[in-house]
Amino acid sequence: MSTDKVLNKVKGICKETRTKDKRIVLIVEKEKMKELAKELRDMGFDHVKSVTGIDYPQKGQMEVIYHISSYQDPELMGIIVEIRTTVDRDRPELPSLVDIWPSAEYLEREEYDLMGIIFKGHPELKRLLLPEDYEGIPPLRKDFKIPTEGIEA
């Protein structure tokens, strides 16, 4: 149905695709992200729902996931598109999608604050939730440990 229509248009740019029910997953290189984003915006997907960063210290990588959907098109309203890309853990930089989708402004800023991922081209990349004079590693990384219940190892 509509998921096949969406997939046929973007198959060339992505590295790998898969679908499950109404969720389309597109895995892409970070250099081609802006091209893919422009393609999806012209198809009718007009806002970003969430930006997630996941830390994989054993592989030395971090994964960034965007969830996109549409407000106006009644066919695309029920579909969620997931754009996944990986960056290096020591130099986590990738291009920001704020000039294509302005709704990603505060979502990307939160991931910069809590995970340390730098979005190049963001209009206002500053601390949002933590105090301004916070020093140390970003809290959501796996090497920042907090106390847990039970017997400490």
Pairing of strands 61-69, 47-56: antiparallel
Q: Are 139 and 130 in contact (CB under 8 A)?
A: yes
Parallel, antiparallel, or unpaired: how do β-strands 80-88 and 61-69 relate? antiparallel
Between residues 15 and 22, which has the closer beta carbon with respect to another protein? 22
Considering the complex, what minimum distance in angstroms separates the CB of residue 71 from another protein?
A: 5
Q: Which of the stretches 9-17, 30-38, 87-95, 138-146 binds another protein when contact is defined by CB under 8 A?
A: 138-146
Q: Is 29 in the site for another protein (CB under 8 A)?
A: no
Among 12, 50, 93, 121, binds another protein (CB under 8 A): 50
Interaction of residue 24 with another protein, rule CB under 8 A: no
